[in-house]
Structure 1
Amino acid sequence: MAERNNRHVGQRRRRGPGPGGPGGHGMMPGEKATDFGGTMKKLLRYLRPHSFKLAVVFIFAIVSTVFSIVSPTILGDATDTIVEGLMSPLGIDFSALLDTIILLICLYAISFVFSFSQSYIMAGVSQKVTYELREKMSQKIDRLPVSYFDNRTHGQIQSYMINDIETINQSLSQSISQIITSATMIVGILIMMIRINLLMTITALIVLPLSALAIKLIVSRSQVQFRKQQDDLSDVNGHVEEMFDGHTVIKAFNREEDSIEKFDEINDALYSSSWKSQFLSGMMMPITNFIGNLGYVAVCILGGYLAINGSVSIGNIQSFIQYVRSFNQPLSQVSQAANLLQSTAAAAERVFDFIEEKDEEDAFGTENETSDPKHHIDISQLKGQVSFNHVRFGYSKDEPVIKDFSFDAKPGDRVAIVGPTGAGKTTIMKLLLRYYELDGGSITIDGHDIKDFSRYDLREMFGMVLQDSWLFSGTVEENIKYGRQDATHDEVVQAAKDAHIHHHIMTQPSGYQMEVNGSGSNLSQGQRQLVTIARALLSDNPILILDEATSSVDTRTEKLIQKAMLNLMEDRTCFIIAHRLSTIKDADHILVMDHGDIVEQGTHESLIAQDGFYAKLYNSQFE
């Protein structure tokens, strides 16, 4: 699976983080899902296998909260013991006081143990759920059609798998237990307050509507700034990545000052939106505390009056004041948890939308991949005869790229496809690999329609070298063996020699164990291309696609590679896409394309003799 993941990553790579890149789609308070209820039901299905652990968490959270709630009452009893002792000629009963303190310490300890245990269990549950979601998303990437990635940036997919998943993880590990704890605490505190004195409880609750109104006003304004902050953060990330990728061009054109000015502009915007969002969000606690203090003052005045009348003991007043001080905290926590759940629903909605995207038909890992007998064609017996029959295709229905393409390639033919940019050369190869479905016509291999193969079997027949070389983090040998995982070291060395990269590899201290970084920047562009050519040579497939395969190497090396590839091309069908027409003079067939149609075809000599479109293209390179 990992091998195929990596193979497709190279085809999906995009520049720039886009709107969903790092910082682009990370969840912020106030971001809401379009279907909160439906999304949370889907999320609950992932929690269902962990029902027993969740039940334990629920019980532990309640027990921990109950012990925490009872503690102020016991502390009030200790206060009453001290007050009674001071007023009694017998003095303070230190034995009873010590028993009360020991009981209090035990309650706090038990509350801590249960609280720690439920947090530990919930963290494990959240990690398993997010692990499962990440695994499903990783598998989904392999099953999505290439067209899915045409309309989404690298940053968006990255955001789904990192930012949104992490939001779900944090919410599961924190919000669920926090809501249980806070709800239990609110109910428990309310009961204990009523138990002490109903009139004081009503006085304390009068300020709650004011707190709720203040929270609503603050949240409504901070949400706007949080969203703007997220957009500005995306702009900063995009600019930084763009400037990093193009730093050599920036220096070459002396545009450092322009880059700094642009950064300062968007950084100032981020500073402004961040300051406002954090300021508004930070106001919530002070304002609610201020309103809570008003109720606290009212309770103190009323409590003093009732204590003088003998209606309430001093210890009970102390306990009640503690409850009042504690009452606002769970209310605030519930509000924050509810807000986080909104963000979680929005993140989960995007994750589920990604997971539920329609699979590419017969893609690797889908249920119907091997269920149909058509997938059992013995590809090892195929010779590589490729026929295009009146192929029509457009990336959008109203803009056809390939209008009526027909051609037969015999086994072992070297077919060059040339033409101006946008003529449809690379599109033809994408259709051959079934990256896209045809709008009309058919493509066959040895008489079998390419739809009769599973996509996995179809692509097993192709070796490919693209204009944009792609290497992954690992050794040079691992990158070459990517073409055939069971290859021996000697076979890897031979492929490198045929690609004329062996000498450079052996000049490195680690040889074939030289580490290639993720972007391959510790190799030159030409060297990276030679490694990918060695990879294609090693794969030894019956059909080869060379899309500007030698565009990044010098002319001398290019000629050497062409000679080395003659043996590889023997008895194999080879499609060569090239702009440097001098490289395809020895091709058996040259197809000249323009605006999706074949306008000329033949050998190099015959096309030059026609003095038509190809001749003009060829001669223009020597003017």
Structure 2
Amino acid sequence: MKSRKIQMDTIRKVLRYIKKYRVLLFISILLAASTVALTLYVPILIGNAIDYIVGPGNVNFEVVAKILVQIAFAVGITAIFEWFMYTINNNITYQVVRDIREKAFRKIEILPLSYIDSHPHGEIVSRVIADVEQFAEGLLMGFTQLFTGVVTIIATLIFMLTINIKITFIVVILTPLSLFVANFIAKHTYSMFKLQSETRGEQTSLIEEMIGNVKVVQAFSYQEEALKKFDEINERLEKYSLRAVFFSSLTNPLTRFINSLVYAAVALAGAIAVISGDVGSTMTVGGLSIFLSYASQYAKPFNEISGVITEMQNALACAGRVFELIEEKPQVPDADDAVTLKNASGNVVFDNVAFSYVPERPLIRNLNLEVKPGQRVAIVGPTGSGKTTVINLLMRFYDVDSGSIKVEGIDIRNITRQSLRENYGMVLQDTWLKSGTIRENITMGKPDATEEEIITAAKAAHAHSFIKRLENGYDTVISEEGGSLSQGQKQLLSIARVMLCLPPMLILDEATSSIDTRTEVKIQEAFARLMQGRTSFVVAHRLSTIREADVILVMKDGDIIEQGTHEELLSKKGFYANLYNSQFAQ
């Protein structure tokens, strides 16, 4: 019952997307009806031709020739109508698929980071790509066969009733058998196709993980373990797929058997009517051939519709997973009266901030901090102390549980996310590049930058020299993994990206961790110039890089346990002094 309700909800959602193209849908239905009418008219012409062929030497060739021309014309028009119908159906299907994919991708962009962090990326990709593709195939089959099949059944019944009501009644009695088969198969395939789709997503996620971390997999000889995990998922996928295919494969033989029953019953009843010469039936040999043709035409759609219904179970299961993603609760939207932050001076205040990723495990408690414009704030502490979490809160990747963070005296929850983030320049330890040219990667935050500005930023980041050595310089195309670029070179590009934007506030999370010592000294000098007059938050593990900070925050278990300049903290001989001395001890 629950799965039935889910199916109906999914169908309603699909229809809402199709509603936008109702004009095309109406034209498609008209074409389907015209195609069916012409297809059913052809047997009448054939039956008439047969009645004009009485026997050897007694054939009205002139009339038969005219009928053959009419048949050819009807078949030709039918082919043209069918071509237009299939073209329109394809158009509707792939426009709906485009709309759903666009909606899904837009939703991914506004999903809270907590959702992205808690779901395998490959599984999300599988929903947007593989599941939508499966849904498209089922929807296309539904358009091309379901409408035509239904119209064929209705029209054939009408045509048969005009020829012989008694024999038509036999056909109608046998109809529920096909409906029973279709209903039986539909009930048993939806849950299996849903399991198949979910397992396919799990498999995609594992493959994506293994490819993205192939060096780590090989370095730790994890290939066998990864293969075992893949085999386990693959076997489950095989099991679910076989079950789904088993029930769906029952469609053809069962419906063909029912078709044969209908055809045999019609042939027997019609033959008896012709031989007996029943006055009420007026059934001729040509009429019987028409009726047999209609019986075949009538039974055929049930075969197709049963197949469509089976395929639609797969499509609806996949669509359901996509709609689950689309209907996920988005991040808290900007307030209606949210202000646009412009030309921030860098005044940042943490007021009694509390935050945790998991409610049962508090991380940051009662965090209070006032950062004045132009100050350089260094954040240090052991792994898991909450350093990167502070950065996530500053950028509003996560919202605080209680308390507030204010920029220029405004709670950042009352500032538009875009304007808040535009006032920050961020370089993380984990570099991220997009597929495209070196130039496109540098200008990500400032697409309208001039060539001179790009080169100046690259020189400031000490990236210009290695870029010029590349085959196509700034026009060299790289992948999201950076291609042949080293980790250090990728980090220099990330730094150049910030150098180009020159935002009023900076966040540097181990920004030079992958750069050699000689280049690091130069980068630190460039950062020192960049940070002049700009509020800067620097997360550092190498404490030698933050000795010039205006204030150093020492974090442990989410709390700031020490605060002061480098010299002040050393003189206290506390936690910071122990950290610092441990890095420079003999």
Deviates more, 1:305-314 or 1:38-47: 38-47
Contact map agreement 1:31 1:342 (CA 8 A) in 2: no
* Aligned equivalent of 2:37, options 52, 57, 66: 66
- 1:97 matched to which residue of 2? 64
Deviates more, 1:138-147 or 1:561-570: 138-147
Pairs within 5 Å for 1:598-609: 598-609=560-571
Deviates more, 1:140-149 or 1:436-445: 140-149
Separation (CA, whole Å) in 2 of partners of 1:562 and 1:31: 61
Structure 1 residues 262 and 384 mapped into 2: Cα distance closer, same or farther (>3 Å)?
closer
Contact map agreement 2:185 2:310 (CA 8 A) in 1: no
Structure 2 residues without counterparts, runs of 5 or longer = none
Separation (CA, whole Å) in 1 of partners of 2:58 and 2:504: 101
* Aligned equivalent of 1:330, options 301, 307, 331: 301
Separation (CA, whole Å) in 2 of partners of 1:236 and 1:438: 35
Separation (CA, whole Å) in 2 of partners of 1:335 and 1:586: 75
Q: Does 1:126 align with 2:93?
A: yes
Contact map agreement 1:390 1:405 (CA 8 A) in 2: yes
- 2:500 matched to which residue of 1? 538
Residue type matched to 1:571 in 2?
Answer: G
Secondary structure of the corresponding residue to residue 621 of structure 1: helix
Q: Does 1:319 align with 2:290?
A: yes
Separation (CA, whole Å) in 2 of partners of 1:313 and 1:165: 52
Secondary structure of the corresponding residue to residue 437 of structure 1: coil
Separation (CA, whole Å) in 2 of partners of 1:599 and 1:131: 53
Separation (CA, whole Å) in 1 of partners of 2:340 and 2:443: 26
Deviates more, 1:575-584 or 1:49-58: 49-58
Separation (CA, whole Å) in 2 of partners of 1:256 and 1:344: 34
Q: What per-residue deviation string (whole Å, max 9, x for no partner) do you get for residues 208-238 of structure 1?
A: 4444444444444444543443344344433
Secondary structure of the corresponding residue to residue 491 of structure 2: helix
Deviation, structure 1 residue 140: 3.8
Deviates more, 1:600-609 or 1:167-176: 167-176
* Aligned equivalent of 1:178, options 104, 129, 145: 145
Structure 1 residues 447 and 197 mapped into 2: Cα distance closer, same or farther (>3 Å)?
closer
Deviation, structure 1 residue 68: 0.8
Residue type matched to 1:104 in 2?
Answer: I
Residue type matched to 2:162 in 1?
Answer: R
Separation (CA, whole Å) in 1 of partners of 2:65 and 2:217: 75
Structure 1 residues 612 and 376 mapped into 2: Cα distance closer, same or farther (>3 Å)?
closer
Q: Does 1:514 align with 2:476?
A: yes
Separation (CA, whole Å) in 2 of partners of 1:214 and 1:579: 67
Q: Does 1:197 align with 2:161?
A: no
Separation (CA, whole Å) in 2 of partners of 1:227 and 1:49: 27
Q: What per-residue deviation string (whole Å, max 9, x for no partner) do you get for residues 133-187 of structure 1?
A: 4444444444443334344332344344334544554455442453332111101
Structure 1 residues 466 and 355 mapped into 2: Cα distance closer, same or farther (>3 Å)?
same
Separation (CA, whole Å) in 2 of partners of 1:169 and 1:279: 22
Separation (CA, whole Å) in 1 of partners of 2:106 and 2:241: 36
Q: TM-score, normalised by structure 1?
A: 0.85
- 1:437 matched to which residue of 2? 399
Deviation, structure 1 residue 462: 0.2
Separation (CA, whole Å) in 2 of partners of 1:530 and 1:243: 27
Separation (CA, whole Å) in 1 of partners of 2:244 and 2:14: 29
Deviates more, 1:351-360 or 1:53-62: 351-360
Contact map agreement 1:33 1:349 (CA 8 A) in 2: no
Q: TM-score, normalised by structure 2?
A: 0.90
Secondary structure of the corresponding residue to residue 486 of structure 1: coil
Secondary structure of the corresponding residue to residue 399 of structure 1: coil
* Aligned equivalent of 1:462, options 424, 444, 454: 424
Deviation, structure 1 residue 560: 1.9
Secondary structure of the corresponding residue to residue 482 of structure 2: coil
* Aligned equivalent of 1:529, options 487, 491, 502: 491
Structure 1 residues 135 and 209 mapped into 2: Cα distance closer, same or farther (>3 Å)?
closer
Residue type matched to 2:365 in 1?
Answer: K
Separation (CA, whole Å) in 2 of partners of 1:297 and 1:340: 29
Separation (CA, whole Å) in 1 of partners of 2:215 and 2:340: 51
Structure 1 residues 36 and 246 mapped into 2: Cα distance closer, same or farther (>3 Å)?
closer
Q: What per-residue deviation string (whole Å, max 9, x for no partner) do you get for residues 361-413 of structure 1?
A: 554xxxx66xx3x5255x22x32122212211222444322101111222221
Separation (CA, whole Å) in 1 of partners of 2:516 and 2:130: 43
Contact map agreement 1:404 1:596 (CA 8 A) in 2: no
Secondary structure of the corresponding residue to residue 52 of structure 2: helix
Separation (CA, whole Å) in 2 of partners of 1:137 and 1:228: 21
* Aligned equivalent of 2:415, options 453, 469, 490: 453
Pairs within 5 Å for 1:463-612: 463-612=425-574
Pairs within 5 Å for 1:211-230: 211-223=178-190, 225-230=192-197
Contact map agreement 1:33 1:342 (CA 8 A) in 2: no
Residue type matched to 1:590 in 2?
Answer: I
Deviation, structure 1 residue 195: 3.2
Separation (CA, whole Å) in 1 of partners of 2:226 and 2:126: 26
Structure 1 residues 51 and 297 mapped into 2: Cα distance closer, same or farther (>3 Å)?
closer
Work out the number of aligned pairs and report it.
581
Secondary structure of the corresponding residue to residue 562 of structure 1: helix
Moved over 6 A (4+): none
- 1:375 matched to which residue of 2? 339
Secondary structure of the corresponding residue to residue 600 of structure 1: strand
Residue type matched to 1:617 in 2?
Answer: L
Separation (CA, whole Å) in 2 of partners of 1:561 and 1:178: 65
Separation (CA, whole Å) in 2 of partners of 1:495 and 1:392: 38
Structure 1 residues 126 and 388 mapped into 2: Cα distance closer, same or farther (>3 Å)?
same
Deviation, structure 1 residue 338: 4.2
Separation (CA, whole Å) in 2 of partners of 1:589 and 1:452: 27
Contact map agreement 1:419 1:425 (CA 8 A) in 2: yes
Separation (CA, whole Å) in 2 of partners of 1:321 and 1:268: 47
Q: Does 1:284 align with 2:240?
A: no
Q: What per-residue deviation string (whole Å, max 9, x for no partner) do you get for residues 277-304 of structure 1?
A: 3343223202221232233334333433
Residue type matched to 2:31 in 1?
Answer: F
Deviation, structure 1 residue 483: 3.0
Deviates more, 1:430-439 or 1:350-359: 350-359
Structure 1 residues 272 and 139 mapped into 2: Cα distance closer, same or farther (>3 Å)?
closer
Contact map agreement 1:119 1:173 (CA 8 A) in 2: no
Q: What per-residue deviation string (whole Å, max 9, x for no partner) do you get for residues 293-316 of structure 1?
A: 233334333433333223432222
Contact map agreement 1:33 1:345 (CA 8 A) in 2: no
Pairs within 5 Å for 1:242-281: 242-281=209-248
Secondary structure of the corresponding residue to residue 59 of structure 2: coil
Deviation, structure 1 residue 489: 1.6
Deviation, structure 1 residue 500: 2.0
* Aligned equivalent of 2:385, options 390, 400, 423: 423
Deviates more, 1:37-46 or 1:291-300: 37-46
Contact map agreement 1:32 1:342 (CA 8 A) in 2: no
Deviation, structure 1 residue 33: 6.9
Residue type matched to 1:69 in 2?
Answer: L
Q: What per-residue deviation string (whole Å, max 9, x for no partner) do you get for residues 528-547 of structure 1?
A: 11110111111100100011
Separation (CA, whole Å) in 1 of partners of 2:232 and 2:146: 41
Secondary structure of the corresponding residue to residue 575 of structure 1: strand
Contact map agreement 2:356 2:364 (CA 8 A) in 1: yes
Separation (CA, whole Å) in 2 of partners of 1:418 and 1:186: 75
Structure 1 residues 337 and 237 mapped into 2: Cα distance closer, same or farther (>3 Å)?
same
Contact map agreement 2:139 2:312 (CA 8 A) in 1: no
- 1:299 matched to which residue of 2? 266
Coordinate RMSD, CA, aligned: 2.9
Deviates more, 1:102-111 or 1:187-196: 187-196
Separation (CA, whole Å) in 2 of partners of 1:550 and 1:395: 27
